[in-house]
Structure 1
Amino acid sequence: MGLVRLKIKELADKRGWTLREVSKRSGVNYSTIKSYVQRGELNTVDLSAVYKIAWAFEVTIDDLVEVVE
């Protein structure tokens, strides 16, 4: 199983959003968003959270997730 990185920070910066705003728009807990950004490479993610975050950014999951390993 490989590692993935969620491009939350890049997408938020592109839109001028804070991580709190990403949390509010997606309905995903702020601590989860912050954790995903701080940890960088992840081996597990909550798929429902990833879907909600992608929906908030109006991008596909493929656009949000980067496979790093």
Structure 2
Amino acid sequence: MGYVKLNIRELAEERAWTLRYVADRSGVNYNTVRSYVQRGALNTVDLSVVYKITRAFEVTLEELVEVVEE
């Protein structure tokens, strides 16, 4: 089974955005955004949430999602 890491923290820091701002801008619940950041490697994600976050950052899926080998 593969794991992924969402580069939310890195992208937010580049833009000087808070996680709260990412949540507001993307329309994703703050606790979900925070959970994705805190958990690091994830084995499941909600693709509709990932899509909303990519749109908020105006990046591609490849820029947001990193495949973690485990």
Same fold at TM > 0.5? yes
Residue of structure 2 equivalent to 1:52: 52
Residue correspondences, number: 69
- Runs of 4+ aligned residues of structure 1 deviating over 6 Å after TM superposition are none
Note the C-alpha offset of 1:63: 0.5
Residue of structure 2 equivalent to 1:19: 19
Residue of structure 2 equivalent to 1:7: 7
Note the C-alpha offset of 1:65: 0.2
Name stretches of at least 5 consecutive residues in structure 2 with no aligned partner. none
TM-score by length of 2: 0.97
Name stretches of at least 5 consecutive residues in structure 1 with no aligned partner. none
1:46 and 1:31 map into 2 onto residues whose CA distance is 14
RMSD: 0.4
1:17 and 1:36 map into 2 onto residues whose CA distance is 16
2:35 and 2:11 map into 1 onto residues whose CA distance is 16
